[in-house]
Each structure stands twice: as C-alpha cells, then as structure tokens.
Amino acid sequence: MTVKTLQDLLAAGVEGRTVLVRSDLNVPLDGTTITDAGRIDASVPTLSALADAGAKVIVMAHLGRPKGAVDPALSLAPVAARLGDALGRYVQLAADVVGIDAQARAEGLTDGDVMLLENIRFDPRETSKDAAERAALAGELAALTGGDGAFVSDGFGVVHREQASVYDVAKLLPHYAGTLVAAEVDVLRAVTGGAERPNAVVLGGSKVSDKLAVIEALAPKVDTLVIGGGMCFTFLAARGLPVGSSLLQEEMVDTCKDLLDRYADVIHLPCDIVVADGFAADAEARTVPAGEIPDGWMGLDIGAESVSRFAAVLRAARTVFWNGPMGVFEFERFSAGTRGVAEAIIEATADGAFSVVGGGDSAAAVRTLGLAEDGFSHISTGGGASLEYLEGKELPGLAVLDDAPSSTAPSAPTTEG
C-alpha cells in the first residue's frame, strides 16, 4: 500500500490552496460541555501544519448519530470553540454542511484560515448506502475547494466507514494521509507485523461477538491473550462455571469452548470476580472465585488476584495491545481491575515495551481514571477502526488513499514522505 502523506502535500505547496480535511472530532458531551477533548487535541498537528503553511483549511467532522437530520444538540459549536483554543486561532463554524453559508464562507477564506463545516451527518447523504447519493455530496464538498484543492484524511476513527467525507471525496481530489492517520497505521503495522515478543493482547468490553474476529485473527499470533470485561463471562460459562446474572451471550458459548480448546495455552481468564447485587455505583459488592458467582449477582469487575496474575504476564511482555476495560470503570467501586491492568501496561512500557491503547472505552478509561497518557507508547483515536485493521479487513478510508490499487494487504501498508 502506497499512500502520500501530509508531508508530500506540504512539499508540493499549499499556500493559497483550499484543503478539505476529514477529522475525527466526535467527542463526548455533557450538554454543551466537552468531557474528553482527546480527539480534538489529536487533530491539531495536521490542521496547524496546513494553516501555518498558508492553506485555507475546511474541516469536516461528525458528532454523535443525528441520523441525517439537523439536531441542535449535536451541533459542532462547542467543538469549534475548543478546536480554536487548541489551535490558538479562530475557527469559524458554518451554519450548514454544503449550503449557502458554507459556500459563502469557503469563498471568503484567506490564507491560514480554518473553517469547520456543521456536523457532516446532518446531511443524510453522508452515510447513505446509495453510492450515487454519497458521490453527489462528495462533489459538493470538493467544489468548496475551488479548482486547486486537496483532501487530507486525518480521522482514523472513521476510516473503516465508506462515507462521503471519508471515502467518496478522496476519489475527486488529490488525496493524502494526515499526520494522525499515518501515525495510527504505522503503530498498528508494528503491532501486527513482526511485533517484538513476548507479545500480549488485552481484550475487554461487553460482548464476545464484537471481538470474535480479532480474537480469531490474533490468537494464533500472540503469546498471551487476556480476556476481561463483560465478555469474560461467556468464556467462564463455556468452562461450565456459573455466572449468576452476569452479562452472557448464550449463543456464543460453543464458540468460546472452541476457542478455549484451540488456544488453551494463550487465553487467560479471570480467577476471581467482583460481583454486585445490582448494576449501580452504590451496589453491594464482594469478591468471589470465578466459579462461585452467586445466583442473582452479576460480575462488574475482575478481582485483585486476577489483576495480579494478568499484571505478571503483561509486565513481561515487549508488545501490548489493549482494547476494552476490565469492568465498569465508570463506577469507582468497580474500576480497580481496569486501573490495575492499565498500570501493569504502563510499567511494561517504562521497562521498554511497546504499548498501544486501542481507542474507544480504553482510551476513555485512561483519562477517567487519571492515568498518565504518556505512560503508553500510543493511544489510538479509533477503537472500531483499530479492531478492523487488526482483523485484517480492508478499511475503505485507507484503501481509497492507495495510489497502487493492485495492493490489497491492509496489514502491510507503507507511506511516502
């Protein structure tokens, strides 16, 4: 895979040119207050480089799932303000996506200006399954750049989506991978291709079905596969252990049995569980052996002995990929498992291991629990995209950037510049 990068675009010159950038600014909100600005901060290097070089920058991004209709609660207004603070320059917000206001503002941009289009998913064509509808929106987006525009893909969290602002617009303009996307691909390539051993993967989250493909892809390649979170209870049930009222995917039990049979020396499950009498922050809680979860009680975290055992193998690893919390970390009483595993990964990193936090809830947990972000080698901005990459799937938003279309191996891309 051969992809031109931001450095190639800057070398070609961007002064006076309009550059469309697809960023991932899908941040969590409490009303209009941004509770985690990590994705905004991650977008800054590419946007700053373009603006500083004299480009007229038009940013495309989404927030939430407005389902193709305008929803004031999902306006990018708070994002524009926070992005302006991060960039140290004013970011104007268009009142629409490709309408009269966006067109007028695009025409009025001067060198170094930054404009954010309103939530791209307010336009139903963005996520349409109809390629012609997406292409029509992409054409209107490309038209905002005038006759000498370019497209920079810098939203890694959306490159697994075949959407107008991610995929179709790249077909219409000279296209480049932004700093963030290039870095994410390089990191995941390091994890999947020739990772230093011992290498470990930590998977959590709620459903086995969400992680099955990545388990199948990675289990034959890694030395250790640690499983926690809600998904561990389906594996415990596959061992014939009672799981009480814990989250259970009964239709996946046989699949988990097969995985345990095939990868018994690789898969590590919790040996003790923090159980609760209800799903609440103040629920009564106690720690029990993994095989003794009482009827009517549910597992909400892994226990201290599990943390100790997991930490031992993680500290010995030279490469670690982590995706998914070990428990309901949002409730302080059930956050110790996630914290303990994260701290073990930080210790391994300090000892020279290469560690990747696979975005999504894992990245949120790092920030919620007040852990040092620089304690990990890399924190991804794209949970779903990271997992699909590790599964070996072709990601449309990366494939479309490829200037060597005959290449089909997503696990071994190279970049220019």
Q: Round to whole Å and give the CA distance between 298 and 282.
A: 14
Token digits for 156?
């890694």
- This prediction has a pTM of 0.85
Q: Is 360 part of the annotated catalytic residue set?
A: yes
> Catalytic one among 68, 99, 207, 221?
207
Q: Is 104 exposed, middle or buried (0-12, 13-18, 19+ CB in 10 A)?
A: exposed
Beta-strand relationship, 91-93 and 33-34: unpaired
Q: Is 384 part of the annotated catalytic residue set?
A: yes
Q: Is 161 part of the annotated catalytic residue set?
A: no
pLDDT in tens, the chain (417 residues): 689 999 999 999 999 999 999 999 999 999 999 988 989 999 999 999 999 999 999 999 999 999 899 999 999 999 999 999 999 999 999 999 999 999 999 999 999 999 999 999 999 999 999 999 999 999 999 999 998 999 999 999 999 999 999 999 999 999 999 999 999 999 988 887 778 899 999 999 888 888 888 899 889 989 999 999 999 999 999 999 999 999 999 999 999 999 999 999 999 999 999 999 999 999 999 999 999 999 999 999 999 999 999 999 999 999 999 999 999 999 999 999 999 999 999 999 999 999 999 867 888 899 899 999 999 999 988 878 888 888 888 999 999 999 864 444 443 333 333
Rg, the chain, Cα only: 22
What pLDDT, on the 0 to 100 scale, is given for residue 407? 40
What pLDDT, on the 0 to 100 scale, is given for residue 409? 40
Beta-strand relationship, 378-379 and 91-93: unpaired
What pLDDT, on the 0 to 100 scale, is given for residue 375? 96
Closest to 160 measured CA to CA, from 295, 5, 331, 359: 359
> Which residues, including other chains, have CB under 8 Å from residue 146's CB and lie 6 or more apart?
18
Torsion from C-alpha of 14, 15, 16, 17, nearest 10 degrees: 0
Helical (H) or strand (E) element with 192:
helix 179-192
Q: Round to whole Å and give the CA distance between 248 and 261.
A: 19
pLDDT digits (tens, 9 = 90+) for 48-76: 999 999 999 999 999 999 989 999 999 99
> Catalytic one among 303, 340, 382, 384?
384
> Catalytic one among 360, 375, 382, 383?
360
225 pairs with which residues across the strands? 201, 267
What pLDDT, on the 0 to 100 scale, is given for residue 147? 85
What pLDDT, on the 0 to 100 scale, is given for residue 411? 38
Q: Is 64 part of the annotated catalytic residue set?
A: no
> Catalytic one among 4, 17, 22, 39?
39
What pLDDT, on the 0 to 100 scale, is given for residue 413? 39
Q: Round to whole Å and give the CA distance between 157 and 63.
A: 12
Q: Round to whole Å and give the CA distance between 220 and 238.
A: 20
> Which residues, including other chains, have CB under 8 Å from residue 43's CB and lie 6 or more apart?
23, 24, 25, 59, 83, 86, 154, 155, 180
